[in-house]
Homo-oligomer: A and B are copies of this chain.
Amino acid sequence: MDPILQGKKLVKHYGRVVALDHCDFELYPGEVLAIIGDNGAGKSTLVKALSGAVTPDDGEVWLDGKRMNFHSPLDAREYGIETVYQQLAMSPALSIADNMFMGRELRKKGLMGSLLRQLDHKEMERFAREKLNDLGLMTIQNIRQPVETLSGGQRQGVAVARAAAFGSKVIILDEPTAALGVKESRKVLELIQDVKARGIPIVLISHNMPHVFEVADRIHIHRLGKRLCVVKPNECTMSDAVALMTGALDPDHAKAPGSSPGPAEEYLHSL
């Protein structure tokens, strides 16, 4: 099977810092791929390069077997790649509905829409409310309230809802549960399963190992700006994964789980 989204030897410098150092990346159809790695390893930069938010200095991005040249997140979105960025991309003074439809607003039917380009606020609000309810974000009562009046967690929920609603080919989530409570985190994990069930592959960045091991099909371990290795959750323990991403373990030694205890307990001990 060919990867649906692929990065080849991606390079990105920020001044003197090399955030991506000839990094490879593959996402296969229908899978949930987790990316884990230390702070500053370059995970966010990698997904930004894949989704057009940064232009890599070198390297290639391939989607569905075609070489892509994304110059902005909009380019990537047009190909069905939706991303929830680590720093949430929201306009604080605009409403939840406005934010969800930013850049793909619905116009009214008929002359008002085509000639006067009037927006269909009603329909957009209906849709937004529906998607938030799916996520269990019932605490948001007024879909017209500005995003700045939401708590950090509620905002994250809106961002995830937006990605889930519009992503048709790939959904990328950069630490989607960092600011979320237990219940909301759970909803997001469920949503990931839902989306996967719809056949859409997902890239998930998270520092939360139990989450990662629960939902991921494969785990891309990122270190020093490049992919160190890829492991499968059932072939690797949590503590090995942590050891790999911190450099305590060599990838070559990790391939033999054998006598080690089950992933969950092991992880708890490593905490």
Q: Which residues of B contact A152 (CB under 8 A)?
A: 39, 86
Q: Which residues, 157 to 180 on A, are CB-close (under 8 Å) to B?
A: 178-180
Stretch at the interface among A25-33, A120-128, A181-189: A181-189
Query: In this assembly, does A93 line the interface, its C-beta being within 8 Å of a C-beta of chain B?
Result: no
Instruction: Count the copies.
Output: 2
Q: How far is the CB of A34 from chain B (nearest CB, A)?
A: 14
Q: Chain A, 239-255, contact with B by CB distance < 8 Å: what is the 0/1 string?
A: 00010011000000000
Q: Provided the pairs A40-B139, A271-B186 are in contact, do residues A181 and B151 lie with their beta carbons within 8 angstroms?
A: no
Q: How far is the CB of A240 from chain B (nearest CB, A)?
A: 12
Contact of A40 among B17, B151, B186 (CB under 8 A): B151
For A185, give the chain B residue with the smallest CB separation. Answer: B207
Query: 5 new A-B pairs (CB below 8 Å) besides A86-B152, A181-B207, A182-B242?
Result: A15-B149, A178-B178, A182-B246, A186-B271, A210-B271
- Show the binding face of A for B, using Cβ within 8 Å: 15, 17, 37-40, 86, 139, 149-154, 178-186, 207, 209-211, 214, 242, 245-246, 264, 268, 270-271
